Amino acid sequence: MEHRLTTPLTTDDVRRLHAGDLVWISGTIYTARDKVHAILRSKGRLPVGLDGAALYHCGPLIRDDLVISAGPTTSSRMARYTKEVVDKGVKAIIGKGGISKAAGNLRSQAVYLAYPGGCGALASRHLKVIGVHLAELGMAEALWVLEAQEFGPLVVAMDSSGRDLYQEARRSAEANLKRS
């Protein structure tokens, strides 16, 4: 099933999304990777409000406030912060590779959406720079405020009911490995 959503997202939006569905998102989204998450943990807050937010695990390539290339980074590095971001109201975590170790922390409140890894050029056509916070962290690690327009295809990879496509693929790979 296909969905077109606009941020801020609600819990109802999230609960309508099922693993394997495709989503295109419009509205404000925030980039956050290792250092922004570490700051959230140490300070307990970020310069932007996260209620209903879509958080994008991305270290973009930006020049003169133009998005040049902005695909996802590997989400497993940020899995350890899942409880904090969901507690702050984040409804959609966007990235690649999943956060299987922290699946329980989505707690029917949030979903994990997969953007195809490496597709930075495609993303550049659907994202505009609105602003930046924590710029002192450097281009890749700063918190960029982006305006998304029909940003996708995002695969619902981990849904609010607990289905996790990465775990399913991995379990079947483990079974196939034993058989081979």
Partner 1 sequence: MKRADLVEATVAVLARAETSLPGWVIDRIEEAARTETNPLAESQLEAILENVAIAAQDQIPICQDTGLPVFHLELGRDANVPFDLRKAVAEGVRRATDEVPLRPNAVDPLTRINTGDNTGPGMPDLVLDLVDGDALRITAFPKGAGSENMSLLAMLNPADDPLEFVLETIVERGGMACPPLFVGVGIGGTFDLAPRLAKRALLEMSGSGSGSSDAGLERDFLARINDLGIGPMGLGGDTTALGVKILTACCHTASLPVAVNLQCWANRSASATVGDEGWNID
Q: Which of 101, 107, 128, 138 binds partner 1 (CB under 8 A)?
A: 138
Least distance in angstroms from the C-beta of 162 to partner 1: 17
Q: What's the closest the beta carbon of residue 8 comes to partner 1, in angstroms?
A: 25
Nearer of residues 52 and 98 to partner 1, judged by Cβ: 98
Please tell me the distance from the alpha carbon of residue 51 to that of residue 106, in angstroms, as a whole number: 14
**Applying CB under 8 A, does 38 fall inside the site for partner 1?**
no
| Member of 5, 71, 106, 142 binding partner 1 (CB under 8 A) | 71
Q: Which pair of tokens denotes residue 170?
A: 């991995």
The residue written with tokens 């807050």 in the block is: 45
**Span from 8-16, 46-54, 82-90, 96-104 in contact with partner 1 (CB under 8 A):** 96-104
Of the candidates 54, 55, 97, 106, which one interacts with partner 1 according to CB under 8 A? Answer: 97
Shortest distance, CB of residue 116 to partner 1, whole angstroms?
Answer: 4
How many residues in the chain?
180
Per-residue CA distances from 28 to 18, 91, 171 (Å): 23, 13, 35
What's the burial of 179, exposed, middle or buried (CB within 10 Å: 0-12/13-18/19+)?
A: exposed
Helix (H, G, I), strand (E, B) or coil at 178: helix
77: helix, strand or coil: helix
Asked if 162 touches partner 1 (CB under 8 A), the answer is: no
The answer to whether 76 contacts partner 1 (rule: CB under 8 A) is yes
Is there binding between residue 116 and partner 1 (CB under 8 A)?
yes
Residues noted as catalytic: 37
Nearer to partner 1, 38 or 48 (CB): 38
Report which secondary-structure segment, H or E, holds 113. Answer: strand 111-114
